[in-house]
Structure 1
């Protein structure tokens, strides 16, 4: 009987030791600070000071994190490009009915899914929903306006009864313009020739007005 008690005690000691070691290594892992690495818009490593100095001059950021490292990438907030004929036709055929395709500028407001910016459980106060937004936009140029979201977005807080939100058709808009999850929301404005301007990250109505006017001036 005594030998059995002794064996039991030894097993308990070993078990307790193993648990203590596991707890110790868990604390050790948590206590180790993650490494921060900063990249500029050409994917070159820069200092944190250089990163944030440039960040203030018209850039947004992308953050990737794993167990040991956090990487920050500078991304130009405003970008210019031109769709080839095939991709431009895909955009028009996926969003527009055949009889709607005219020489109008296409405006797309895009929500990439929930994040810290757009996961609030209350109706949005975003000024893109102000009454003068589309009214002034139409004064700048004839437009076709689309409200696109990715699966998982809290669309119910973005006035779906007043705005016709559509889920991204086959992830076409994401693949052509928004390859990464830019925080909050993004926009793209496309002219009748396939020239486009994207705005990555949080924006407001004035940014869309400005981009639309820029594209109009480009075609004068």
Structure 2
């Protein structure tokens, strides 16, 4: 009888621990306003092309955020000085600044065209040709985590985002593939996260070049 009672107590404790563990591992979903929503609401909202799902350090949290953000830097001169020091580039404060940003390796940039050297060379040449025609500028290529970029050595002059200062300003999540930001001489900016076409970069540069 005592042995049966002991097994029953152990079984109850085991079930309680298992239930608690399942509850703790339950995935939580958040919309672009950082409000928790249901899984069905999340999946429905994800179909909106203006939103993008971003990775989180926790595997049990999924977040939606706006694919495009517009704003204004309060102190453009201070930002230019920060950029000059962090990546050792002389920024022309009279023209737009274009930054192509690589957060790190993910399923979207781990294969296919992104790692093909010829494809990347053509992509870079087309990008820079368009920016030169619009504002006579070249983009700045920054990365947060170099993992996945070795195959592009000799093609794109990637530079480390010193102490992740640019990431803290514009790229706060782990977006898939590449992201970019275009900053006007007055400090207005347009940033776009995740996969984008070159037309988006050129259009944003035209707007920030006025």
Equivalent positions of 1:61-76 (< 5 A) are: 61-64=53-56, 66=58, 70-76=60-66
Looking at structure 2, the residues matched to 191 and 92 of structure 1 have their Cα atoms a distance apart, in angstroms, of: 16
TM-score (norm 2): 0.74
Out of 118, 134, 140, the position equivalent to 2:134 is: 140
The structure that is strand-richer by fraction is 1
Out of 136, 143, 153, the position equivalent to 1:149 is: 143
Structure 1 unaligned residues grouped into runs of 5+? 1-20
Deviation at 1:197, TM superposition (A): 1.2
Q: What is the SS of the residue equivalent to 2:97?
A: strand
Q: Which of the pair has more CA radius of gyration? A: 1
Structure 2 unaligned residues grouped into runs of 5+? 1-10
Is 1:106 the equivalent of 2:97?
yes
Looking at structure 2, the residues matched to 195 and 92 of structure 1 have their Cα atoms a distance apart, in angstroms, of: 18
- The 1:151–1:76 alpha-carbon spacing in structure 2 relative to 1, beyond 3 Å, is same
Looking at structure 2, the residues matched to 65 and 175 of structure 1 have their Cα atoms a distance apart, in angstroms, of: 16
Deviation at 1:102, TM superposition (A): 4.2
Deviation at 1:107, TM superposition (A): 0.9
Looking at structure 2, the residues matched to 126 and 201 of structure 1 have their Cα atoms a distance apart, in angstroms, of: 17
Looking at structure 1, the residues matched to 70 and 32 of structure 2 have their Cα atoms a distance apart, in angstroms, of: 15
Deviation at 1:118, TM superposition (A): 2.5
- The 1:154–1:177 alpha-carbon spacing in structure 2 relative to 1, beyond 3 Å, is same
Out of 86, 89, 112, the position equivalent to 1:94 is: 86
Q: Is the CA contact 1:112–1:153 (under 8 Å) kept in the aligned structure 2?
A: no
Looking at structure 1, the residues matched to 171 and 126 of structure 2 have their Cα atoms a distance apart, in angstroms, of: 27
Q: What is the SS of the residue equivalent to 1:80?
A: strand
Report what 1:78 is aligned to. 68
Supply the RMSD in Å over aligned alpha carbons: 3.0
Matched residue pairs, number? 188
Looking at structure 1, the residues matched to 102 and 57 of structure 2 have their Cα atoms a distance apart, in angstroms, of: 22
- The 1:132–1:206 alpha-carbon spacing in structure 2 relative to 1, beyond 3 Å, is same
Which segment drifts farther, 130-139 or 38-47?
Answer: 130-139
Q: Deviations 1:167-219 (Å, cap 9, x if unpaired)?
A: 11232211211122212221111111111111111223122112112223xx3
Q: Deviations 1:130-165 (Å, cap 9, x if unpaired)?
A: 53222122222232411111233222223x213211
Is 1:167 the equivalent of 2:157?
no
Out of 12, 17, 27, the position equivalent to 1:36 is: 27
TM-score (norm 1): 0.71
